[in-house]
Each structure stands twice: as structure tokens, then as C-alpha cells.
Amino acid sequence: MDAQSSLPPPPPKRHEGILKFGHQQQPEMPDVSGMTTDINTLSRRLRLLEEGFTNLRRFFQVTEENIIAKNRHYSAEIKTIASDISEIRKEMQELRDKMLLIIRELQTTARKDEVKVLEKYINLWNPIRFVTQNEVEQIINEVLERKGQ
């Protein structure tokens, strides 16, 4: 027998993190305190982002509702203005018609020179001195009565 064969076998080589037969080695626990901090930080950031998105959704919803309300308001205003414009157009047409009627009437009236001619004839004839038939009969009766006396 050899001296070497009488010696106990050498212990198995240790590899880090690997269990070898014959030895029960506790697995090394990774440092979870750093991971926990990272997860908490990520969780906090995620909540902040979610709150930001929720706020943005609310903001856009309110903005959309305001736009819809303004759109309804402006639509009603436009309808009112269109109605007013239509009414004004009708009134303008009526005014045009009346003005044309007035112009036609004015075209049929006597002009200034025609009125002057009439004035000259009236002054020449002096109708104030004209007498009525009753006045003539009364004058004749008075003259006859004077002669008959």
C-alpha cells in the first residue's frame, strides 16, 4: 500500500455559490435592501406618473367639455346672427320697394317749373275775385230790387 492510498481523500473544491456534496453550505443571500429601495423608488415614480396622467385626463376632459359647451354657445349665436341678418335683408328689401314706390310717385308729381307756370296763370286770372252762382243771383236780385223801387 502506498502512503498516498492510505491518506483520506482531499476535501472537494469549493466553488462559490455552488453546493458540493458532503457539505451543506448556506446560499448567500443577495443584498435585497438596495433592491427594495429601488422598487420603492420605482413604485413612487410610477404612482406620480399615474397621478400625472390622471390629472391630464381630467384636464383634457374638462377642456373637451368646455369646447363642446362653447361650440353649442357659438352655434346658437351664429343661428341668432343668421336670423338677424335674414330679418335685416327682408327689411332692406321692403325699404327698397318703398323707395321705388316713392320715386315713381315723385315722377308723377308736378315739377317746380310746372308749378311756376300754374302760379302765373292763377295770379293772372285772380280766382279770388271769382264769384259763385249764388252770389251772382243775389247781386242780380239786388239790382232788380233797386230798379223796381
Please give the Cα distance from 115 to 59 (Å, whole number). 80
3-state SS class at 135: helix
pTM score above 0.75:
no
pLDDT at 124: 84
| pLDDT digits 0-9 by tens, 30-89 | 666 778 899 999 999 999 999 999 999 999 999 999 999 999 999 999 999 999 999 999
pLDDT at 122: 85
| pLDDT digits 0-9 by tens, 82-137 | 999 999 999 999 999 999 999 999 999 888 999 999 888 888 887 777 778 888 89
Pinpoint the alpha helices (H) of the chain: 32-108, 112-125, 133-148
Instruction: Check: CB of residue 21 under 8 Å from CB of residue 12.
Output: yes
- Whose CA is closest to 42, among 55, 56, 50? 50
